[in-house]
Structure 1
Amino acid sequence: MSKKQIATTQAPGAIGPYSQAIAAGNWVYTSGQLGLNPETGELAEGVQEQARQSLNNVKAILEEAGASMDQVVKTTVYLKDMNDFAAVNEVYSTFFTEPYPARSAVEVARLPKDGLVEIEAVARKK
């Protein structure tokens, strides 16, 4: 199985030696996406806006790869503070429909750029 790098200007560029996503066969694996505005490179204000921007970044990357949010089978949500779990869920639920993807959510000591949330996804291409 070959792998293909996925890149779009509709999401922030990689800030290290990694790809925005990799397509392998019919599967797309995104890197974790912070709530960074792709035009300004700045973090959105507050955890809900960062979650919204993070998911918009994931969506743009998946669309570049020929997938969509309905094709997401698994996500991982990294939170700076687990007390933000409910606030992030409010935003998260607007991006997905039933059956919802499988998900892990973990609190981490620190995220790049001192972000409040980072989200990654695995999706099957259409």
Structure 2
Amino acid sequence: MIAETSTLHGAPAWQRLRWWQALGWLGVGAVIVLSLLPLPQIGPQLPNGDKWQHLLAYATMALYFAQWASTWAQRIRQALSLLALGALLEVLQGLTGYRQMDPLDLLANATGIAIGAGLALGPP
């Protein structure tokens, strides 16, 4: 936890923490928007390239938000919330008409969450 009295570049610690948290939520928003926009077909595609994108995005979010958890229960809730977000986005993709729901995407999300949470192992 950042001490409330410390300063860096003139900003109080609580203010820096809010900026970092806002950056994390901006990342979540980007994942939501990118998950629901139509996919442009640009050049050759890597085999299962979208699965790697899912894995990387969810691993990054899990690792990032684990830094703010002060208990194991919070970390577990964060992981489950990310998994629920991934499931919801898959369902919404199936409803768009231009994207499709893919259970393997959800598996890639879950794998990414496990990797990100695993990288964050250690005391909260």
TM-score of Structure 1 vs Structure 2, range by shorter chain: 0.3 to 0.5
Query: Which structure dedicates a bigger proportion of its chain to strand?
Result: 1
Report the structure number with the largest CA radius of gyration. Answer: 2
Q: TM-score, normalised by structure 2?
A: 0.38
Higher helix share: 2
Compute the TM-score of the two structures, normalised by the length of structure 1: 0.38
